[in-house]
Structure 1
Amino acid sequence: MAVWKMSGLSDTERAECAKILKLMSKGDVLSLSDTVTNKLIVVEHVKEAVETILSFTKNAEEFLRRKKVYRELIFKYLAKEGVVMPPNSEKHQLVKRTLELWSSRKVVPAETDKTRQRPSTETASDSTKVEAGFDPLVLGQQFCQWFFQLLNSQNPSLGQQPQDWGPQHFWQDAKLRLLSRTGSEQMDEFLGAELVNLRLLALTRDERLVLSPNLDTQGLKVLTSPHGLVLVAVAGTIHRDEACLGVFEQIFGLIRSPLENNSWKIKFVNLKIRGQDTLGGTEVAAPSLSYNSTELQLLCS
Structure 2
Amino acid sequence: MSGLSERERVGFTKILGLMTTADLLSLSDTVTNKMIVVENTREATETILSFTKNAEELLRRKKVQRELIFRYLAKEGVVMPPNSEKHQLVKRTLEFWSSAKVVVDKSHQGDENRRRQPTETASDSTDMKAGPGFDPLVLGQQFCQWFFQLMNSQNPSLGQQPQDWGPQHFWPDVKLRLLSRTGSEQMEDFLGAELVSLRLLALSREERLLFSPNLEPYGLKALASPHGLVLVAVAGTIHRDEACLGIFEQIFGLIRSPLENNSWKIKFVNLKIKGQEALGGTEVTAPALSYNSSELQLLCS
Superposition TM-score, scaled by structure 1 size: 0.82
Residue aligned with 1:173, SS: strand
Partner residue, 2:126? 133
Partner residue, 1:232? 232
Deviations 1:105-149 (A, max 9, x none): 1321348x86xx8xx97224x332121532544433332232223
Distance 1:60 1:229, change over 3 A: farther
- Deviation larger for 214-223 or 250-259: 214-223
Distance 1:35 1:140, change over 3 A: farther
Distance 1:257 1:240, change over 3 A: same
Partner residue, 2:94? 99
Task: Give 1:43 shift.
Answer: 4.8
Partner residue, 1:273? 273
Partner residue, 1:293? 293
> Is 1:68 the counterpart of 2:59 in the alignment?
no
Matches within 5 A, 1:147-296: 147-296=147-296
Gaps of 5+ in 2: 129-135
Residue aligned with 1:235, SS: strand
Structure 1 runs (4+) greater than 6 angstroms displaced = none
Q: Give the whole-Å Cα distance in 2 for the aligned partners of 1:157 and 1:53.
A: 29
Gaps of 5+ in 1: none
Deviations 1:5-45 (A, max 9, x none): 472x4332232122212222344334434444555x53535
Q: Give the whole-Å Cα distance in 2 for the aligned partners of 1:145 and 1:205.
A: 19
Q: State, as a whole percentage, how many aligned pairs show the same letter.
A: 77
Distance 1:209 1:25, change over 3 A: closer
> Is 1:42 the counterpart of 2:50 in the alignment?
no
Q: What is the alpha-carbon root mean square deviation over aligned residues?
A: 3.0
Residue aligned with 1:14, SS: helix
The 8 Å contact of residues 183 and 275 in structure 1, kept in 2 or not, is answered as yes
Q: Give the whole-Å Cα distance in 2 for the aligned partners of 1:167 and 1:6.
A: 43
Deviations 1:243-289 (A, max 9, x none): 22101011111111111122211011111111101212222222222
Q: Give the whole-Å Cα distance in 1 for the aligned partners of 2:157 and 2:64.
A: 26
Deviations 1:67-117 (A, max 9, x none): 111112112212221333444433223223323332331321348x86xx8
The 8 Å contact of residues 75 and 153 in structure 2, kept in 1 or not, is answered as no
Structure with more of its chain in helix, by fraction? 2
Task: Give 1:55 shift.
Answer: 4.4
The 8 Å contact of residues 121 and 142 in structure 1, kept in 2 or not, is answered as no
Residue aligned with 1:122, SS: helix
Superposition TM-score, scaled by structure 2 size: 0.82
Partner residue, 1:23? 18
Residue aligned with 2:142, SS: helix
Residues matched between the structures, number: 291
One-letter amino acid of the structure 2 residue matched with residue 107 of structure 1:
V
Distance 1:145 1:43, change over 3 A: farther
Distance 1:294 1:55, change over 3 A: farther
